[in-house]
Chain A
């Protein structure tokens, strides 16, 4: 323990000495302004601390980025990534010219915009409502219950959806029949797939989504409210003109992040709810990549499709962020 300090100490001083010798405030400088090298040496253990994480990101995130080159090659596993031959944009052309390209793009875009339109405002409204209610048993119970579905796994969620929508015995189907309406075959009907996906997502995540807004709302200056009450502002007006503006920065940040992920509809839930009957509206880019890449082993082609997807996402994110930067002051970077 003591040793390491003795090692670090003299070396630090050594490195400084040439400059330090001439400076008048030698002692003060010695204590605060050490050179980069001595600081790095003194904190060598911190590099050890980040090493596993750096290694992890290099291997499991940066190495696959290197593997992206197979999108421009005809990857043959036996030849390896480097030795497979280059084919340029052939795979991209094939994808853009395929008959399913339009459908895939439309399904992905419409599903995620639909989800954004319903799923994004609801947590904001819910958070504003929570904020109006004083802390107590009621508020706590509603929060605990609405947060809970967030922890249900995708598989169980899909299982619940399938069970509740089962035409023969599903709870929701029974409920709809109660109103004298003939329930559609939700999961076998392509026109219903997106609604089922979006509504179930809202059920699962709207409550959890309020937390981030509630954190922002807790920062509202109570004096603003007091002043507004004196001026005779109603509760509703205060919510609209004090509380809502407070969370606007949070809203914009989350909106930017969501817009940057418009083509990023995940495969996890879609894959579980997909069946041959709803395929025409449920097949999105990510499930297509999974199917053509891992099920049918068209490695290069599906990598190209995946690359197209992430490039569009990255461009969208930067563009939306830029627009947000210009119009308001909030941006990611």
Chain B
């Protein structure tokens, strides 16, 4: 009895330690996020002096007003939405049928095709040959350069294939064939309606990668009107190009008067722009988390 008591006490202590550890992880990850949110609606001088450390101080929406007045951000936003929708649609059109075909055990040549895909995960032509290819194809400064070179990812094809393999019963396919159903109809009218979760997972994975990508626009685009949001963000956040142009050409009189310090305007815009650009993902993420996690888990089954 005594030993049992002792052990349960040490178990309790261990559990307390675990909870403390997780709580610490929570604080470390959450704090910067809350800080940015608060800083975006606080008066800049409180932020830079350190007086604002958790909750907003000197509430102001000027940062957001400046962001809203910036035509570059609007154009970038529009471009990003367009690229994300178009890119993700192409991704789905390429990935889902291929993954379904590769999931069929009666599909002759699947090992060969799968191997051909897998090789590209471990060996690639590299940055420069890929760039030269896109150039050769005449896609420089075209939106296709952002979309076609990333039409599919091997990893996502594997995830979708694993899903089809494990959820579409073989009997269903055999029965459909017995009834004279073609593969085309089988896929579109029977398999796809049963595959809503994987379509969601794929759309999310591809969508997020399009939304967040900046490097291909950096190397392939030279027309600023085509820049996606991430390129505009790069100018504001990283290159710190705080010219009148990036902070909004026509800052309305009252805001300009309220903030005589250019650096303060810059800082305020930064926090606001982080929130504005990450907002769509932050808002949908908690509702879709289940799907994201599912995607990783399906992939890990046969990774």
Contact = CB atoms under 8 A, between A and B. Distances in A.
Interface of A: 1-2, 4-5, 36, 39-40, 43, 45-50, 52-54, 56-57, 59-68, 70, 77, 81, 126, 129-130, 132-133, 138-139, 141-142, 144-149, 151-156, 158-160, 162-164, 168-169, 171, 174, 203, 206-208, 211-212, 215-216, 232, 234-236, 250, 253, 260, 267-268, 271-272, 286, 289-290, 293-294, 299, 302-303, 306-307, 309-310, 313-314, 317
Contacts of A81: 132
A45 B214 contact: no
A45 to B, nearest CB: 4
B109 to A, nearest CB: 8
B10 A234 contact: yes
Interface stretch (B65-73, B100-108, B241-249, B250-258): B100-108
A250 B300 contact: yes
B50 A156 contact: no
Interface residues of B, number: 102
Contacts of A163: 237, 267, 270-271
Interface stretch (B55-63, B81-89, B144-152, B194-202): B144-152
Nearest to B149: A60
A236 B12 CA distance: 10
Given A67-B133, A211-B296, A1 B123 contact: no
B11 A235 contact: yes
Contacts of B152: 53, 56-57
Interface of B: 3-4, 7, 10-11, 14-15, 18-19, 21-23, 25-26, 28-30, 32-33, 35-36, 39, 47-50, 53, 93-95, 97-98, 100-102, 104, 106-109, 113, 116-117, 120, 122-133, 148-149, 151-152, 157, 177, 180-185, 187, 208, 211-215, 219, 230, 233-234, 236-238, 240, 263, 267, 270-271, 274, 277-278, 281-282, 285-286, 289, 292-293, 296-297, 300-301, 303
21 contacts: A1-B180, A1-B181, A47-B101, A52-B97, A53-B94, A57-B152, A64-B129, A65-B124, A70-B128, A138-B19, A151-B281, A152-B212, A156-B274, A162-B240, A232-B3, A234-B11, A236-B11, A253-B303, A294-B131, A299-B132, A310-B124
Contacts of B236: 159
A310 B128 contact: no
Contact of A268 (B123, B128, B215, B285): B215
Given A52-B94, A299-B128, A129 B22 contact: yes
Contacts of B131: 293-294
A212 B294 CA distance: 10
Contacts of A149: 29, 33
Contacts of A46: 100-101, 104, 107, 183
Contacts of B183: 43, 45-46, 49
B128 A169 contact: no
A153 B107 CA distance: 39
B116 A54 contact: yes
Leading 7 A-B pairs by shortest Cβ distance: A64-B125, A159-B237, A67-B129, A306-B126, A153-B212, A169-B48, A53-B98
